[in-house]
Structure 1
């Protein structure tokens, strides 16, 4: 979920440069193209890419219909090379890892490298990709040379349409599952959650519905699904009654939350469970797979997605992330009133709708120009290359107003020219489950001569990736062109001045704090 630092507006009640030294040497930005083409991809398929062939049911997608669908013949050499030059992953718009890292650094602590997920750093910043008119995605592919041998950074950017006006979106049926265990007594946990829920209750529409479940040693439905029109007072009373109790039986909370959501299910509405917790489970089921197995039928049959809101200076980041990933949702981290206002007052009401289900991306690098590549992050979102067009395989759920960014380190052949990569995104319509695809391409000649010569938002993407890389990697695993933290501090400070983006200012502060600690 991208941050909108320049849109931190007040809602309801008040809740109390450039990276020039990273690189050395061309080009232009290539934006994505839609899936209705001239057959150029068919010729590329003969060289071992792009994505595996579509199925007969994908009638709206580009295909070379002159070729027998059962004909899998291919140049044997390309067949061997193609899997090594394909990268496939489920889309992810989580940002909790970056938010929690900022909190840890601000408190003078060093983050656990295992909790640093680079894709969540990269996706925490506003992008300027073109937007589609309807559901689905646009695809933007660009890149820049790093000055380290033949290595470049290649960015794949996916964007959904902007949110509709409040009056035009479908109604929402939100089941809030709130942790009231003893650990939530710390300032900035339950108190912040209660204040945030109060503000959001005033922000939602009359035809939206809210239910409230709490959990400590056990789980309890405090408020069944309730239409807000004429009943906001009942919701405020339920929120005001929340008090800190005992242990953290997160499994019981999630199970009861889904049962409450199913009982109050609304056809034609966006049905979502919103889990607010520090995710420090210590009672009952504490394994994400076990918890989700119990509510699997509700999740699959009714399309109920899970949105995780993490809080607290000690935070069960891994458990929350796994719950959200397996629950077809995503996570954010809230550390203060400003974050809470953005999440509950701005993001959640505007993004209760979905524009794409089971979205996956596949990037096919051209064996004629690319020697090797490495995807930055997405370690636990990998999908088998052959499953790209298998719609039974789980992908990511994405709503309006989102961007998804994937960054690659790519080593090109010396003097490479011509086609470099094709990026394809596949998703299902959230209501009809009809599959769709869009693609974008990049040529070697379009690579910018250096990271510093690229657009400012590309530089922000690179800076976020380099920052995550510095926090969790060392030696040969470092990204090509990686600067020191001291130099990265200077670069991000300059980017903050150029972009006038508070989110980039926060990044510069976090890099500066990390430089002092590491």
Structure 2
């Protein structure tokens, strides 16, 4: 997801020729600015091209089983009802299989009918575009040695693609760049391809970011005693070290009562002494009224709201809600209602994974359209809230929605996101952070492989809004199979390794992971041919070795 500078130097030259194909950013007044030289077919997707009425419904529906939340009591579900079937991504079925495709009935007497004439248009969603909790919980459970079966640990495919690093070209300020990649695995059938799409944002340093208005909503209930409170304080210290002079901080601590500790305070710079003092005074005790704390936090955030600032509510808790109003829909609705005003929510889980109420925090941040992270140790706290502070806290593009146009006869059979559909109204747009990329990894299959030629085109369109002005924008990239297959594809290989890794974790939860672990290791070895020394590949290899 993030782009470290060293990896930029190694990977970006191999990707630049892919990203700058047919890119044109169209503003609301119909004018456009070229985002790169085209060696493919230029096109811009206007309103008529985006309309679901012009899209084929021959392949639409739910996400693949590979995107399910395994072993989680709070698996996320989404519907993709485009002609009869409903697609879910809950936590009940621990298997990984093909994506369900709904819509028109394409069978006659039990035999499949290949529609080789109607183009396929699908709209893709990664679900939470900056949620990264489950990969950390899974890693800590295995490497910590306390949960080798991963029972009760959420394994949400899309969060792994959010958490781990994919290096794609940076966009110009206020724009996004689309980079498609295509790859064939050894032994893969002639009718299948791996397609990965990166939608990347601009690079923004902490020195050059907009000023912030941050409201810290901090759980001081009794369940936070020990490691949870330690990590709450460490996360706040990392945030304090990342602030600039003039940033506004408010702070409310809560158990069954709300205590406002700071309101609209402008810090003097990094490590402001008054702010650090307030952090040190935090202590655990009492019950938990999460909704009351969150409501008080948003009220504080509104008092200092400034449309020229990055307005964030940072909720840090073990996710427990055992007093006051604990209905998840009410809490999530309160978080989401403020998103239209530009106040975004970051949910920070702390403590031990086995004690963390992941389901509650996941739903709150899903509606709040902010990051959901899990902080098990000091290193993770400083990674998320210092090294990756801008990525975690800021927004580069709002309400991003991606459309994939494929040739007739194609369908998605595996998908890393939560859902896809032929109807854009069924896909929830997501925000994109700076220094970041939305990554969609899918296996696509055609019923007419003989029709695929080097000149056969794939088109990807991203529609989004400016993070500050809400101005609508759109960018389209058109490439051919020949162009993509003729280019080395390091990120799609890494995506294949990560997808197989998650399938292996899901296999562990199902009690049968031997074959899945072997496949994941093979995919990692393949990715390492182009990405030697990649730290993410090394980390997931360590987890797999521990599971064997």
TM class, shorter-length: 0.7 to 0.9
Say if 2:133 and 2:374, in contact at 8 Å, map to a contact too.
yes
* CA distance in structure 1 between the aligned counterparts of 2:239 and 2:456, rounded to whole angstroms: 48
Answer yes or no: is the 8 Å Cα contact 1:152–1:410 preserved in 2: yes
The aligned counterpart of 1:414 is: 449
Maintained 8 Å contact 1:374/1:408: yes
CA distance change for structure 1 residues 435 and 90 in 2, over 3 Å: closer, same or farther? farther
Partner of 2:362: 321
Structure 2 partner of 1:462: 496
Deviations 1:428-449 (A, max 9, x none): 0122211111122343334549
Kindly provide the CA deviation profile for residues 73-113 of structure 1, in whole angstroms up to 9, marking residues without a partner as x: 89999996769651332661222111111112223312248
8 Å CA contact retained: 2:56, 2:422: no
Q: Given that residues 358 and 395 in structure 1 are in contact (C-alpha distance below 8 angstroms), is that contact kept between their aligned partners in structure 2?
A: yes
Q: Deviations over 1:371-425 (max 9, x none)?
A: x21352332x65662438xxxx852122210111001111133232242532211
After superposition, residues 342-357 of structure 1 pair within 5 angstroms as: 342-349=383-390, 352-357=393-398
Superposition map of 1:292-311 within 5 A: 292-300=332-340, 302-311=341-350
> Structure 1 residues 279, 163: CA separation in 2 closer, same or farther (over 3 Å shift)?
same
> 1:118 — aligned with what?
157
Tell me the equivalent position of 1:236.
276
- In structure 2, the residue matched to 1:209 is 248
Aligned partners of 2:173 and 2:202 also within 8 Å: yes
**8 Å contact from structure 2 (residues 123, 403) kept in 1:** yes
- Shift of residue 123, structure 1, vs aligned partner: 2.5
Deviation at 1:195, TM superposition (A): 2.6
Indicate the residue corresponding to 1:12 in structure 2.
none
User: 1:502 matched to which residue of 2?
Assistant: 535
Which digits, 9 at most, give the CA deviation of each residue in 1:446-495, with x for residues without a partner? Answer: 4549xxx9543322211111111222369xxx9xxx96313533653785
Q: TM-score, normalised by structure 2?
A: 0.74
- RMSD between aligned residues: 3.9
Q: Residue 382 and residue 455 in structure 1: after superposition, are their counterparts in 2 closer, same or farther (change >3 A)?
A: closer
Aligned to 2:125: 89
Give 3-state SS (helix, strand or coil) of 2:395's partner: coil
What is the CA–CA distance in structure 2 between the aligned matches of 1:395 and 1:358, rounded to whole Å?
Answer: 5
Which residues of 2 match residues 102-141 of structure 1 at below 5 A?
A: 102-108=139-145, 109=147, 110-112=149-151, 115-141=154-180
- Matches of residues 152-301 of structure 1 in structure 2 within 5 Å? 152-164=193-205, 166=207, 168-187=208-227, 189-229=228-268, 232-300=272-340
Kept in 2, the 8 Å contact 1:354–1:399? The answer is yes
The residue number in structure 1 matching 2:425 is 387
Confirm or deny: 8 A CA contact 1:145 1:447 kept in the other structure.
Answer: no
The partner residue of 1:31 within 19, 29, 51 is 19
CA deviation profile, 1:314-352 (whole Å, cap 9, x unmatched): 222222222112102121222211111111112224654
Instruction: Supply the distance in 1 between the matched residues of 2:479 and 2:153 (Cα, whole angstroms).
Output: 32
Distance 1:208 1:179, change over 3 A: same
- Residue-pair matches, total: 463
Aligned residue for 1:432?
469
Cα separation, 1, equivalents of 2:50 and 2:250: 49
* Contact 1:466–1:483 under 8 Å retained in 2: no
TM-score by structure 1 length?
A: 0.78
| Partner residue in 1 for 2:110 | none
User: Unpaired runs of 5+ in structure 2?
Assistant: 8-14, 33-42, 60-102, 105-114
Q: Which runs of 5+ in 1 are unaligned?
A: 8-26, 38-53
**Cα distance change, pair 405–332 in 1 and its aligned pair in 2 (3 A):** same
Q: How far off is 1:165 after superposition?
A: 5.3
Which structure is higher in RCO with an 8 Å CA cutoff and minimum separation 6? 1
Q: What does residue 520 of structure 2 align with? A: 488
8 Å Cα contact 2:181/2:489 also seen in 1: no
Q: CA deviation at 1:173?
A: 0.7
How far off is 1:196 after superposition?
A: 3.1
2:462–2:475 CA contact under 8 A, matched in 1: yes
Distance 1:122 1:351, change over 3 A: closer
Local SS of the residue matching 1:115 = coil
1:397 maps to what in 2? 431
Where do 1:32-111 residues align within 5 Å? 32-33=20-21, 35-36=23-24, 59-60=30-31, 85-89=121-125, 92-108=129-145, 109=147, 110-111=149-150
Please give the alpha-carbon distance, in whole angstroms, between the structure 2 residues aligned to 1:243 and 1:5.
39
Q: 1:346 to 1:496 in 2, by over 3 A?
A: same
State the SS of the aligned residue for 1:484. helix
The residue aligned with 1:441 is 478
